[in-house]
């Protein structure tokens, strides 16, 4: 049993943050959770020391970089997660560190932002309502941004808009032609700003677009039609690319897992 709520950020923070995700996962037993990339990084707040990755406990407040390969997380007992989901370039703009250096990294919030990180964790944990939690999150995020905010790259912003506009279904030649730059230049900029290559990012966007289209379908999902609509050559191509990102086949995703978020599943 779980409860899920997604909350948009305030307008002044919307350039960095996509949304806040609140997950309440009830139960006293051990569960396996599958996490794969949605093209973004973020911050996780968890008042219960209940999450384990590779048998090691995760901090109760941590920042995570881009996920380059799916992860299997163990959840022990009741868990209440608050996930601050950044835009793809958000972490780079926040820290002014090449995003690729933070790929697959888990960094304690107190190590990353010292006193402010500890204060954010404590203040949110003490809040007794969702609205107050959001207010306190945004208060401390603004404090962090007041000293850590850096300008983004307009070329990367334009490329991201084009990728999302086409739901990830475009070649790198089409992408570079649409924004007027060379392939190697775009790859360098993407590795710095996002941490992934343009091709990898397009594949993620296309995969998530496929999942959302089938989730929103009025009738029973049809994988073959969904594959063609999402730009895959055929169903075999869909299954191969889908498994690379999620570690599952589309059938396993839709029939044998319980999505907590599009890219976060209970197996």
CATH number at residue 116: 2.60.120
Same domain, 114 and 60: yes
Q: Are residues 135 and 162 in the same domain?
A: no
Q: Are residues 196 and 98 in the same domain?
A: no
Beta strands 51-53 and 71-76, pairing class: antiparallel
Average pLDDT over residues 23-52: 90
The verdict on 44 and 7 lying in the same domain is yes
pLDDT at 146: 85
* Other Cβ atoms closer than 10 A to 35: 19
Q: Look at residue 227 and tell me if it is in a domain.
A: yes
Task: Report the distance separating Cα 127 and Cα 138, nearest Å.
Answer: 13
Q: Which of 129, 148, 167 is the last residue of a domain?
A: 148
Q: How confident is the model at residue 34 (pLDDT cuts 50, 70, 90)?
A: very high
How far apart, in whole angstroms, are the C-alpha atoms of residue 246 and residue 255? Answer: 14
User: Which pair of tokens denotes residue 206?
Assistant: 């296309």
Tens digit of pLDDT for each residue in 230-242?
888 888 898 999 9
The verdict on 144 and 12 lying in the same domain is yes
Average pLDDT over residues 85-97: 92
Structure tokens at 196: 């992934």
- Assign residue 55 a region (left: φ > 0; alpha: ψ between -120 and 50; beta: otherwise): left
Q: Is the residue at 100 inside a domain?
A: yes
Domain boundary (148, 179, 208) is at 148
Mean pLDDT of 234-257: 90
Among 132, 148, 164, the domain boundary falls at 148
Pairwise CA distance, residues 13 & 32, whole Å: 33
Report in angstroms the alpha-carbon separations of 265 from 51, 57, 98, 104, 179: 14, 19, 29, 18, 35
Gap between the Cα atoms of 50 and 80, Å rounded: 9
Q: What is the mean pLDDT of residues 225-229?
A: 80
User: What integer best gives the mean pLDDT of the chain?
Assistant: 90
Listed residue (84, 36, 86, 37) closest to 193, CA to CA: 86
The secondary structure of the chain, three-state, reads: CEEEEEECCCHHHCCCEEEEEEEEECCCCEEEEEECCCCCCEEEECCCCCEEECCEECCCEEEECCCCCCEEEEEECCEEEEEEEECCCHHHHHHCCCHHHHCCCEEEHHHHHHHHHHHHHHHHHHCCCHHHHHHHHHHHHHHHHHHHCCCCCHHHHHHHHHHHHCCCCCCHHHHHHHHCCCHHHHHHHHHHHCCCCHHHHHHHHHHHHHHHHHHCCCCCCCHHHHHHHCCCCCHHHHHHHHHHHHCCCHHHHHHCCEEEECCEEEC
Whether residue 14 sits in one domain with residue 121: yes
Model confidence at 259: pLDDT above 70: yes
Q: Is residue 266 part of a domain?
A: no
Number of domains comprising the chain: 2
* Structural domain contains residue 72: yes
> Are 173 and 194 in the same domain?
yes
Kindly report the CATH number assigned to the domain that includes residue 230: 1.10.10.60
Q: Is 236 found in the same domain as 127?
A: no
Query: What is the pLDDT, as a whole number, of residue 221?
Result: 64
Residue 265 counted as domain residue:
no
> What per-residue confidence (pLDDT) applies to 220?
65
Is residue 193 assigned to a domain? yes
Shared-domain flag, residues 24 and 133: yes
One domain for residues 130 and 168: no
Domain that includes residue 90, residue range = 2-148
Residue 262 forms part of a structural domain: no
User: Residue 131 falls within a domain, yes or no?
Assistant: yes
The answer to whether residues 252 and 258 touch, using CB atoms and an 8 Å cutoff, is no
Asked if residue 165 and residue 90 are part of one domain, the reply reads: no
| pLDDT greater than 60 at residue 1 | no
pTM flag (> 0.95): no
Asked if 144 and 116 count as a contact pair (C-beta separation under 8 A), the reply is: yes
Same domain, 180 and 104: no
User: pLDDT above 90 covers what percent of the chain?
Assistant: 66
């Amino acid at each position: 049993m779980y409860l899920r709520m997604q909350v948009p950020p305030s307008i002044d923070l919307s350039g960095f943050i996509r949304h806040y995700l609140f997950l309440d996962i009830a139960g006293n037993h051990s569960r396996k959770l599958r996490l794969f990339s949605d093209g973004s990084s973020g911050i996780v707040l968890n008042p219960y020391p209940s999450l384990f990755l590779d048998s090691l406990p995760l901090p109760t407040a941590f920042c995570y970089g881009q996920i380059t390969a799916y992860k299997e997380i163990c959840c022990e007992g009741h868990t209440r997660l608050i996930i601050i989901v950044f835009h793809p370039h958000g972490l780079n703009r926040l820290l002014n560190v090449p995003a690729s250096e933070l790929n697959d990294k888990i960094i304690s919030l107190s190590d990353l932002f010292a006193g402010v990180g500890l204060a954010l964790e404590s203040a949110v944990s003490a809040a007794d309502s969702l609205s107050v939690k959001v207010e306190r999150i945004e208060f401390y995020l603004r404090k962090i941004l007041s000293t850590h905010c850096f300008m983004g790259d307009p070329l990367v912003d334009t490329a991201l808009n084009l990728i999302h506009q086409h739901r990830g279904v475009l070649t790198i030649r089409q992408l570079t032609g649409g924004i007027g730059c060379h392939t190697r230049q775009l790859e360098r900029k993407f590795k710095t700003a996002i941490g992934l290559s343009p091709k990898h990012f397009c594949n993620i966007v296309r995969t998530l677009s496929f999942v959302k289209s089938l989730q929103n379908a009025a009738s029973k999902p049809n994988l073959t039609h969904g594959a063609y609509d999402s730009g895959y050559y055929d169903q075999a191509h869909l299954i191969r690319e889908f498994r690379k990102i999620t570690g599952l086949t589309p059938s396993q995703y839709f029939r044998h897992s319980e999505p907590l978020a599009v890219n976060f599943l209970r197996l």
